[in-house]
Amino acid sequence: MSARDKWENYKEHEDKLEPCKYCGGTARVAGTEFNGKIFYGVFCETPKCINNTSEYLSRKRAIEEWNRKQRGEKKKYSTMEDVLEVWTRWEREAGQ
Ligand SMILES: [Zn+2]
């Protein structure tokens, strides 16, 4: 397997998103740039469905968070990184 195939496999696996638990719709990852950093969030593509995740500095993390939420699992993360991300989001929202 070439490095490129491995990468494609990895990407495919990484982006495996559970369907939306409310409408069964397809989910998508979106990155937003803010202060030179990219924040990743996952949202449901169905118009008017507001199911989404918080935004994270890690794309993988946003995907994990989405999948966890759709399966109805309890929050798995409670690290300093989480707290910093929440603060960053608050600052961002306050600045708007
Ligand atoms: Zn939905």
Query: In order along the chain (96 residues), what is the average pLDDT of each group of 10 residues?
Result: 75 79 95 92 94 92 92 70 76 78
Cβ contacts of 58-61, under 8 Å, gap ≥ 24: 59/14, 59/29, 59/31, 60/14
Instruction: Name residues with Cβ closer than 5 Å to ligand 1, which is an ion.
Output: 20, 22-23, 25, 44, 46, 49, 51
Ligand 1 centroid to Cα of residue 27, in Å, is: 8
Q: Give the Å distance between the CA of 3 and the centre of ligand 1.
A: 35
Instruction: State the distance from the centre of ligand 1 to the C-alpha of 25, rounded, in angstroms.
Output: 5
pTM of the model: 0.65
